[in-house]
Amino acid sequence: MNIASFLSARVARSALNAARFLSPFRLVAFVRSFARLPLSASALVIGHWSLVTFTELRAAEVPLASATIGDFNKAFSAGTLTSEKLVSLYLARVAAYEPTLNAVITLNPKALDEARALDAERKAGKVRSPLHGIPVVYKDNFDTFDLPTTGGFYGLKGSIPPRDATITARLRAAGAIVLAKVNTSEFASGGAMSSLIGQSHNPHALDYTPSGSSGGTGVAIAAYYSPLGYGSDTGGSIRGPSTSNGIVGLKPTHGLLSRAGIIPLALSFDTGGPMTRSVYDIAISLNVTAGEPDPRDDATQKSVGKVAKDYTAFLKKDALKGARIGVARDFFGQDPEVDVTIESALAILKAQGATLVDIKYPPILLSMRGELYNAIRRPEFKAQIADYLATLKPGYPKNIDDLLALSEKVSAVTPEGYWPNPGRLALYRAESKAVPLTDAGYLAAKTHGMAFVRDTLQALIEKEKLDAIVYPTNPRRPALIGEAPAPGAADTRVS
């Protein structure tokens, strides 16, 4: 197991009032019944149960909620499902639940045409990959050459970048279909709220947050808009929405996947990664998006010689036998329901052969993490967002001062439907005052602070002979929308 890769799974409330839950829109693909692949191979999929139930159907019908990408491929091969039909079913769900969930910024108007073309390829004997004909949703900070990429900011409405993000391009080349661009915390910072379309809602309980910043992707996967989505993570932005929406998400090791063409927040931390409903689908997607180093992203050089040929090969039922897993107790004790959920999952890990070792992080590591993060993140955003904005066409903002000025203009919902975003506005103000990347304090934090965190964790891992460390992605249940997070909530980052 690679400790730098974190799989987030739900840490959610099991007894929420059923009236608060959005009833599923029962759409099914009429395909033959087939067995689901085992999902127990991932040690860090914890507390993963369904809050949405579907009526039992005849053996010849399979609800969208129950099928993995592997299952869809079996149906494609059997001739009982087409990509056009699959895309149609997902588009129907979007139509049924938007704008109630308010997750979608842009739908791809050519999605069905692309599906038909890929069906024709399949019929002619060409299958590009297991993602051939599979729809994908993207957080709207992933560049798409044919659809706007806004970062959730109203000032970038209509901005079409010159080329795809590398992840987007690799998925398209593998036959995946861009179904939609979905909501994001504005420029990937904060809750699931953007000035472009406003607040997204948790599909399990509409008055609760889906968390950010990849909240739109989390909502879309949980609401069955698509079997696969992509988000980005700087300080928890894949992991948080994955736990709050009850799905599976992966923050990859830094450098495993290219960040080129993802609007940057802080490249020292930024990663892009998959969000799905099964560990199998995470592995399938990595087979496409991990690979050769990207000349557009120097960080990918770190993964040379370390990329697996087939990540599904690691999904083994006995994978936990003999594994030593550290349990980071620093993040327990804030919510009894979360603790009970995690303890139940830990018991399952132990029953499957893992040895659990309670650990505590050094106090200095916990006390410095917030300040260290901001000492790097704010200066990097100020500089790196300007680099990104310079690639866009004329007429769009070019630097942090432009973003701040435009944000200050929206103090109430506008006739165009733009939303005030006071939380992000406060961050723009702080970022505008950030030091340059030549500043000695920034350089010390980046060079020595990050090394201290890495070396401290590595020493702990070696001392206890650990294969992985587990902890609740969020030590508290999702908050009500508009409710201030409790101290320490959603802050389990140490890198």
pLDDT of residue 191: 87
Q: Which residues contact 161 (CB under 8 A, 6 or more apart)?
A: 143, 144, 145, 149, 261, 391, 392
Say what the pLDDT of residue 206 is: 98
pLDDT single digits (tens) 425-466: 999 999 999 999 999 999 999 999 999 999 999 999 999 999
Helix/strand/coil for 189: coil
Instruction: Give the mean pLDDT of 376-403.
Output: 98
**What is the pLDDT at residue 483?**
87
Beta bridge partners of 233: 271
463 a catalytic residue: no
Percent of the chain with pLDDT over 90: 83
- Given this model, what pLDDT does residue 303 score? 97
**% helix / strand / coil in the chain, to the nearest 5?**
35, 10, 50
Active-site option among 139, 251, 382, 446: 139
Tell me what pLDDT residue 488 has.
55
Comparison of pLDDT for 319 and 493, the residue scoring more: 319
d(CA 181, CA 179): 7
Q: In this structure, are residues 276 and 285 in contact, taking their beta carbons and an 8 Å threshold?
A: yes
**333 Rama class: left (phi>0) / alpha (psi -120 to 50) / beta:** left
Instruction: Note if 200 is an active site residue.
Output: no
Model pTM score = 0.88
Q: pLDDT by residue (tens digit) across 464-478?
A: 999 999 999 999 999
**Looking at per-residue confidence, does 48 or 294 come out higher?**
294
CB atoms within 10 A of CB 292: 11
254-283: b (≥16 Cβ within 10 Å) or e:
bbbbbbbbbbbbbbbbbbbbbbbbbbbbbb
**Angle, alpha carbons 303-306-312 (nearest 5°):** 120
Instruction: Render pLDDT for 7-64 as a digit per residue (tens, 0 to 9).
Output: 333 322 322 222 233 333 222 222 222 222 222 222 232 223 222 222 232 323 556 8
Active-site pick, 83, 213, 226, 244: 213
* Cβ pair 154, 196 in contact under 8 A: yes
Q: Report the percent of the chain where pLDDT is more than 70.
A: 85
Task: Give CA–CA dist 156/464, Å, rounded.
Answer: 49
Q: At residue 111, what is the residue type?
A: A
Of 237, 244, 258, 303, the catalytic one is 237
Average pLDDT over residues 202-221: 98
pLDDT in tens, 249-293: 999 999 999 999 999 999 999 999 999 999 999 999 999 999 999
- Verify whether residue 237 is a known catalytic residue: yes
